[in-house]
């Protein structure tokens, strides 16, 4: 598909944070750019801000002075919408209000040529609704850039209900020609990234609300065991609790209160208290001058067991553990009990240590249990969380802690929450992604690309599901659903279908 003419004019309406970033991207791609804002003087102000940013790129040696001057010569603030008449593409980045955006496009449509692509940068409104009143809604798309637009590569290209496939393809080709990574998606609440990322926040907040662990520990486990760049508590403090909560609430409303998208009461209270994160000096964590950042709960050194029992075959993800344990000098005794199908390790006093299956360790089936969390990679992770059942003794817990410590891990012993921290989060991320793929929200490839680039996940959720095994993800969700009835953890139809196919191939 061909992009818009590189010599064509791109208009950006709304010269705030996003409008300035998008204008800079279009300038870097060689377009003439018109910048319009309803607030008098704002477009000129934005042009000066863009000039200053390009100046900083020159200072850093990333752009030469001639390149900056040539780009700035192509940037023109516009005082009236009528000045956008020769645009090949208009990208709107004004205030996030449906009626304001609809009104703008109603005024804009008669001004621009019929073959001009029209785009909204909305992050939470329905693209279909924004285009609702247009004479030619077929040329209307969502182009969802991420902040800061000049730096972040991902752009979600959203097809509204009435968008012509040709217009969506042209928009996709255009942002690709601009050096961005476009992903195509249907007009669904939250598009790909904001829809599929909800469990990353929701599960962590829920573990905290249930007293399973404190924010610093949950963040550390998701980073050091799950491989996420940042934990949900520190990340939402950076984004702003009000902003993150508003996205969650808008997706929840748009899905007609589907329990899978339920917002967090604890986060809602933070917002009500004005504890918005870094920008207000306090959120989940304090940021005032001299404030100490809380440390994650980490177990003191414990003696590792000299010998452990090994029952049945571990799930694929846990396969490296046996070799790691033997390399650490611990004797592994294989138990051939024929009736055992579930994999577990027996500790010296008889407690069973195993990967969480989604359910809580208490009451457990037969004797003391200690569950450990899912890791992105058991060899390279530096922390692990353990959840002992009420029936596990202090000696059982010490043996489990010592075992993981001798493998080089910091250990966080947390409360007996179903699915611990990483496992429940990843099981839900995989399910949300499988559900979206099954419903045709986006291609499987674009879903994984969006989550890796849009929120920096260490692995695309669909790829992650394949690595864990979808039958295993399904069992974890069944375990969680048994502990929390109400539908939130019911595995989606798409995940169950694919798990059944996987099972039939075993």
Among 94, 167, 421, 499, binds ligand NAD (CB under 6 A): 94
d(CA 469, CA 412): 26
d(CA 423, CA 94): 39
User: Is 389 a catalytic site residue?
Assistant: no
* Cβ-based neighbours of 67, under 8 Å, separated by 6 or more: none
d(CA 377, CA 374): 9
Give whichever of 131 and 221 is closer to ligand NAD, judged by the CB atom. Answer: 131
Exactly one of 87, 194, 245, 412 is catalytic; name it: 194
Give whichever of 52 and 506 is closer to ligand NAD, judged by the CB atom. Answer: 52
Give whichever of 19 and 305 is closer to ligand NAD, judged by the CB atom. Answer: 19
x/- site string to ligand NAD, residues 454 to 473, per CB under 6 A?
--------------------
Among 9, 24, 122, 248, binds ligand NAD (CB under 6 A): 122
**SS3 per residue for 351-382:** CEEEECCCCCCCCCCCCCEEEECCCCCCCCCC
Residue closest to ligand NAD, measured at CB = 16
d(CA 333, CA 175): 58
Among 29, 84, 104, 437, binds ligand NAD (CB under 6 A): 104
Report in angstroms how near the CB of residue 21 gets to ligand NAD at its nearest: 8
Among 24, 123, 356, 405, binds ligand NAD (CB under 6 A): 123
Q: How many of the other CB atoms lie within 10 Å of CB of 288?
A: 7
Query: Under the criterion CB under 6 A, does residue 18 sit at the interface with ligand NAD?
Result: yes
Give whichever of 18 and 271 is closer to ligand NAD, judged by the CB atom. Answer: 18
Q: Which of 282, 150, 296 is nearest to 216 (CA)?
A: 296
Give whichever of 82 and 333 is closer to ligand NAD, judged by the CB atom. Answer: 82
Q: Name the DSSP letter for residue 280.
A: G
Among 15, 108, 220, 361, binds ligand NAD (CB under 6 A): 15
Exactly one of 31, 92, 124, 156 is catalytic; name it: 156
Among 3, 19, 142, 189, binds ligand NAD (CB under 6 A): 19
* Joined tokens for residue 437: 């793929």
310 in Cβ contact with 335 (< 8 Å): yes
Report in angstroms how near the CB of residue 45 gets to ligand NAD at its nearest: 9
User: Is 123 a catalytic site residue?
Assistant: yes
User: Is 121 a catalytic site residue?
Assistant: no
d(CA 335, CA 224): 32
**Rounded to a whole number, what is the distance in angstroms from the first to the last CA of the chain?**
41
Phi-psi region of 83 (alpha: psi -120 to 50; beta: other; left: phi over 0): alpha
d(CA 115, CA 167): 10
Query: Under the criterion CB under 6 A, does residue 121 sit at the interface with ligand NAD?
Result: yes
User: Is 156 a catalytic site residue?
Assistant: yes
Q: Which of residues 37-56 bind ligand NAD (CB under 6 A)?
A: 37-39, 42
Give whichever of 49 and 173 is closer to ligand NAD, judged by the CB atom. Answer: 49
Q: Which residues make up the interface to ligand NAD (CB under 6 A)? A: 13-19, 37-39, 42, 93-96, 100, 104, 121-123, 145, 147
């Amino acid at each position: 598909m061909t992009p818009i003419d590189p010599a064509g004019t791109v208009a950006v309406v709304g010269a705030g944070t996003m409008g300035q970033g998008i204008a800079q991207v279009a300038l870097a791609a060689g377009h003439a750019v018109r910048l319009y804002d309803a607030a008098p003087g704002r477009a000129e102000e934005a042009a000066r801000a863009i000039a200053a940013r390009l100046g900083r790129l020159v200072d850093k040696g990333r752009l030469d002075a001639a390149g900056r001057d040539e780009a700035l010569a192509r940037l023109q603030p516009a005082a009236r919408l009528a000045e956008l008449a020769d645009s090949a593409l208009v990208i709107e980045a004004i205030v996030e209000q449906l009626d304001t955006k609809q009104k703008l496009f109603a005024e804009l449509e008669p001004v621009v040529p019929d073959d001009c692509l029209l785009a909204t940068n909305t992050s939470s409104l329905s693209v279909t609704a924004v285009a609702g009143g247009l004479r030619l809604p077929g040329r209307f798309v969502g182009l969802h850039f991420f902040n800061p637009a000049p730096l972040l590569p991902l752009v979600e290209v959203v097809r509204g209900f009435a968008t012509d496939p040709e217009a969506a393809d042209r928009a996709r080709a255009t942002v690709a020609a601009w050096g961005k990574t476009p992903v195509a998606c249907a007009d669904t609440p939250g598009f790909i990234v904001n829809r599929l990322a909800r469990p990353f926040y929701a599960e962590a907040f829920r573990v905290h609300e249930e007293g399973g662990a404190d924010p610093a520990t949950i963040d550390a486990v998701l980073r050091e065991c799950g491989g996420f760049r940042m934990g949900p508590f520190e990340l939402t403090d950076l984004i702003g609790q009000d902003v993150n909560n508003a996205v969650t609430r808008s997706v929840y409303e748009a899905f007609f209160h589907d329990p899978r998208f339920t917002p967090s009461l604890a986060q809602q209270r933070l917002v009500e208290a004005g504890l918005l994160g870094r920008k207000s000096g306090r959120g989940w964590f304090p940021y005032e001058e001299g404030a100490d950042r809380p440390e994650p709960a980490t177990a003191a050194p414990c003696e590792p067991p000299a010998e452990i029992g090994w029952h049945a075959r571990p799930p694929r993800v846990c396969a490296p553990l046996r070799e790691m344990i033997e390399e650490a000098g611990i004797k592994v005794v294989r138990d051939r009990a024929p009736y055992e199908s579930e994999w577990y390790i027996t500790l010296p006093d008889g407690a069973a240590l195993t990967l969480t299956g989604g359910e809580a360790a208490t009451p457990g089936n037969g004797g003391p249990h200690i569950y450990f969390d899912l890791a992105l990679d058991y060899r390279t992770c530096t922390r692990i969380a353990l959840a002992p059942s009420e029936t596990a003794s202090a000696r059982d817990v010490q043996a489990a802690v010592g075992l993981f410590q001798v493998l080089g891990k910091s250990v966080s012993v947390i409360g007996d929450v179903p699915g611990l921290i990483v496992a429940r989060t990843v099981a839900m991320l995989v399910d949300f992604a499988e559900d979206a793929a099954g419903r045709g929200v986006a291609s499987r490839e674009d879903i994984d690309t969006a989550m890796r680039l849009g929120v920096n996940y260490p692995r695309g959720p669909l790829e992650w599901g394949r690595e864990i095994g979808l039958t295993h993800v399904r069992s974890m969700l069944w375990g969680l659903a048994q502990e929390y009835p109400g539908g939130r953890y019911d595995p989606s139809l798409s995940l169950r279908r694919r798990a059944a196919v996987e099972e039939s191939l075993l």
